[in-house]
Amino acid sequence: MKYLLIEIGKEKYWFELDNDGHANRQIVLDEHNQIHISCLEDCLAEGSINEKDVEGNISKLSKLEFDNLWRGYLKKYKKTWEEVKKSYPIGVYVRGKFSYSYPQGSIIKGSNFIAIYKGEESFCLNQSVQYRVKSYDNMNMWLIVE
């Protein structure tokens, strides 16, 4: 994994990149000083990130630096995440809509949760789906469904 901070004007982009340069996690500070986190909304970079093609200032980060930022920004959602896990124990079925795809899988949004499906089934945007909770992705605050 590689960890980068890219600064373009007032905007900042923190990335966790896999070996192919695809973003697994991303934090964005926009021009209005608003934070966007890829596990909560669709703001993950599409395609691979090539440092040679990026405008702006690039800084390398350690995994620890990135993880500290990640946990810091998600801290205010921790209580809600614990409530989601209590509401949707392993084995229960959940219903939501296919919202977008990430390299990690298909993102499904329910009324009060976000889930990831890592299987082979393909979806249409906004398609209603129902899956069983298999486990939890605590780092991203996602239900893992099958």
Q: What is the pTM of this model?
A: 0.92
Same domain, 57 and 112: no
Same domain, 28 and 59: yes
Alpha helices in 4-144 (DSSP H): 63-74, 78-87
pLDDT digits (tens, 9 = 90+) for 69-81: 999 999 999 999 9
pLDDT digits (tens, 9 = 90+) for 29-80: 999 999 999 999 999 998 899 888 888 999 999 999 999 999 999 999 999 9
Same domain, 19 and 73: yes
With a cut of 90, say whether residue 2 has pLDDT above it: yes
Alpha helices in 88-135 (DSSP H): none
Same domain, 50 and 106: no
Given 34, 58, 78, the domain boundary residue is: 78
Q: What's the confidence (pLDDT) of residue 80? A: 97
Question: CATH number of the domain that 107 lies in?
Answer: 2.40.50.140
